[in-house]
Each structure stands twice: as structure tokens, then as C-alpha cells.
Amino acid sequence: DVKVTQSSRYLVKRTGEKVFLECVQDMDHENMFWYRQDPGLGLRLIYFSYDVKMKEKGDIPEGYSVSREKKERFSLILESASTNQTSMYLCASRGDEKLFFGSGTQLSVL
Amino acid sequence: DQQVKQNSPSLSVQEGRISILNCDYTNSMFDYFLWYKKYPAEGPTFLISISSIKDKNEDGRFTVFLNKSAKHLSLHIVPSQPGDSAVYFCAASVGFYGNKLVFGAGTILRVKS
């Protein structure tokens, strides 16, 4: 079974802090993704990566950056957290033309 | 501007009956469609997909119908079971290998026993 692991289930951070969300997949997938899920808006793509050190902006990249130094690991970085970044963050990797998601990180920015 | 719309935030169905979840899209370039199911405290899991060359795809109790002229797809669950209670997301992409999956807002399905 594909396993996508997100390092934290819940995070509480203060406005202005730098925040790192980590994601690891164990299936040697080339493509990895970060989404955020908000009520009434569904899942929106922040960034994705199609190879090590390769990244592409999704639909809502403002305020975020990403890092992919190793194939199995894809990190989402909030350079200076703001309250409007309070959300559920979902990491995914792609295989067999479908996405496999982690359990999500609920981030609260106070 | 939401390109994929699920206009029903929630749906309640009796166990054993049919559940019909609807999804509309606006981008005529979309040609691959998927449904994901999400339980609380878990990530979404893939349920079923359909490409635009088909108008129906079936997998056990789940059937997806695609009406390209209406830009509409629906997911039918027959018979519905209490374990089907979850949030269902419709998603679409351009191309089978499209990296940019666009998701709808989701529909909460409650199956009552």
C-alpha cells in the first residue's frame, strides 16, 4: 500500500513565524503535491513537484514556497505565517494516474 | 471562479437506497474526471474515474456518469451503506496525465440506518 506521511497532525503557530510542513512518500513517485482544504472551497493546489529540485506553482502559491531535495520528501514552507493560512494542508503523491493523500495537517495561525 | 462545482453541500439518504452526487464543470478542456472520498481525520482516497471518451464507468456499487454536452457528471451509489457516509469530492483535469487536478468543494453524504 502507498503510504504518504505528514509529520504533524495538528500545528499551532503565531503570526510571522516560519512554518515547515513535511511530507514523505514510500512509493518512489516522481510527482508530489501540496493542497489546502477549506470549507466551501474544496482542495486547492498550492505547489507541485515533478522531480527532485523541480517545482511548479499551483493555483494559490502566494505566501508559500516548497523544497524537494530528495525524491521521497516534499516540504511546504510558510515564510511568514498569517491568520489566513489557517487551514487543513494535504500532501499527495501520484501513481497509477491517481493521487494518494496523507492524513493532513491542521494548521492554526494565531 | 470555481471550474468544478458541487452545488449540494450535503445529502442525506436512507440505507439501501440510491445516493446521487452531482458535479458540474465549466472548463471544456477537462477530459478526465475523478471522485475521491474523505473520512474525518483521514486524507481523501480515490474512488472512481472516467475519461471523456466514455459516458459511464462502473465499479461495484459505484457508477459515474458523464454528460459532456451538459458538462455534468454524477456519482451513483447503490445500495448506500452507513460506511459510505463521508465527504465526496469531484475532480477534473486536462489530460489523463494532467498534474493540475481541480477539485470541487465537496458534498457531505450521510447514510442513515
Q: Which of A41, A42, A48 sits opposite B99 (nearest CB)?
A: A48
List of chain B residues whose C-beta atoms are within 8 Å of the C-beta of residue A48: 99-100
Asked if A62 is an interface residue toward chain B (Cβ–Cβ < 8 A), one would say no
Asked if A41 is an interface residue toward chain B (Cβ–Cβ < 8 A), one would say yes
Residue B2 has a pLDDT of 79
Mean pLDDT of B15-22: 98
- 3 state DSSP class of A85: helix
Residue B98 has a pLDDT of 65
Q: What is the DSSP letter of B39?
A: -
pLDDT over 70, % of chain A? 98
Sign of CA dihedral B32, A91, B104, B13: positive
Closest among A79, A102, A78, A92 to A7, alpha carbons compared: A102
- CB contact set of B98 (below 8 Å; sequence gap of 6+): B32
CA A30 from chain centre, in angstroms, equals 15
What DSSP element (H or E) covers B63?
strand B62-67
pLDDT digits (tens, 9 = 90+) for B68-107: 999 999 999 999 999 999 999 999 998 766 678 899 999 9
Mean pLDDT of A55-69: 94
Closest among A40, A39, A37 to A60, alpha carbons compared: A37
Most confident of A21-25, A55-59, A95-99: A21-25
A44 and B4 in contact by Cβ < 8 A?
A: no
Q: What is the DSSP letter of B84?
A: G
C-alpha–C-alpha distance, residues B44 and A106, integer Å: 14
What torsion, rounded to 10 degrees, do the Cα atoms B50, B51, B54, B57 define?
Answer: -10
Interface test with A, best of B23, B31, B101 (most A CBs within 10 A): B101
B41 and A103 in contact by Cβ < 8 A?
A: yes
List of chain A residues whose C-beta atoms are within 8 Å of the C-beta of residue B46: 98-100
